[in-house]
């Protein structure tokens, strides 16, 4: 489900799925800082016009990467799992040039991705907006979306922490998804779990691409 939803939703028509949840959520996303959490390794990836920085969770390995036209996607799964069979997945996406669209905001884009989930599981869909973010000088938005029944044939649920970042010219997302037993009812938001995963992904920020500079991108590391 993920590749189809994540790439198509970046440019999809949107609706205010998260507006009420964002106002009434029990917990807001923690303020992003440049403090590195214990364990995860910093990842710096050039995606279209900027370098995307986030913390790569311990125990995950890169499993898939693809860039076509205006879309970019990178997926990582726990050791011993694959993109075809996984219990958790960390995904990074990029949408080239989307920041130039004045109608798109981080929350609007989050709504579009949440809408893709709702189409799959209208009866068991749930979404909780965690609020707006300031990631360095860039705007962001965080939410948790869930499908109680993401795949009726295989019988599992899927929930995802979604962080959207508006870059200088492009949009980016960092997501942490999990699969669990199917639920006919919408999945209740677990504040403690998703807040902890949010912290483990921090810091999420963007750096300029310096011509001729290569990994490990010292200009971005020095600016942390």
Cα–Cα distances (Å) from 202 to 78, 83, 158, in that order, read 19, 23, 22
Whether 208 maps to a domain, the answer reads: no
Whether 198 maps to a domain, the answer reads: no
pLDDT in tens, 171-195: 999 999 999 999 999 999 999 999 9
Whether 163 maps to a domain, the answer reads: yes
Contacts of 45 (CB under 8 A, 6+ apart): 51, 52, 74, 92
Structural domain including 162 reads 2-30+58-193
Whether 73 maps to a domain, the answer reads: yes
Q: pTM value?
A: 0.85
Whether 10 maps to a domain, the answer reads: yes
Q: What percent of the chain has pLDDT over 70?
A: 81
Whether 14 maps to a domain, the answer reads: yes
pLDDT score of 7 more than 80: no
Which CATH number covers residue 98? 3.40.1000
Whether 75 maps to a domain, the answer reads: yes
The arithmetic mean of pLDDT across residues 123-138, rounded, is 95
Q: How confident is the model at residue 36 (pLDDT cuts 50, 70, 90)?
A: very low
97: number of Cβ within 10 Å: 12
Domain total for the chain?
1
Whether 76 maps to a domain, the answer reads: yes
pLDDT in tens, 146-166: 999 998 778 899 999 999 999
């Amino acid at each position: 489900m993920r590749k189809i939803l994540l790439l198509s939703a970046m440019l999809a028509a949107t609706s205010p799925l998260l507006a009420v949840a964002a106002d009434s959520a029990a917990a807001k996303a923690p303020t992003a800082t440049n403090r590195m959490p214990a364990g995860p390794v910093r990842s710096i990836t050039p995606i279209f016009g900027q370098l995307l920085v986030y913390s790569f969770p311990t125990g995950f390995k890169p499993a898939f990467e693809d860039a076509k036209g205006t879309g970019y996607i990178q997926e990582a799964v726990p050791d011993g799992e694959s993109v075809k069979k996984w219990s958790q997945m960390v995904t990074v996406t990029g949408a080239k040039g989307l920041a130039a669209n004045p109608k798109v905001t981080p929350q609007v884009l989050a709504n579009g991705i949440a809408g893709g989930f709702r189409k799959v599981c209208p009866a068991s869909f749930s979404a909780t907006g965690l609020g707006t973010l300031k990631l360095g000088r860039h705007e962001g938005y965080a939410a948790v979306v869930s499908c109680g029944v993401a795949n009726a044939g295989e019988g599992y649920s899927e929930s995802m922490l979604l962080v959207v970042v508006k870059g200088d010219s492009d949009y980016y997302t960092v997501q942490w998804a999990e699969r669990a037993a199917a639920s006919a009812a919408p999945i209740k938001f677990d504040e403690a779990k998703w807040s902890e995963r949010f912290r483990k992904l921090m810091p999420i920020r963007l750096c300029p691409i310096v011509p001729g500079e290569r990994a490990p991108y010292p200009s971005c590391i020095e600016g942390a």
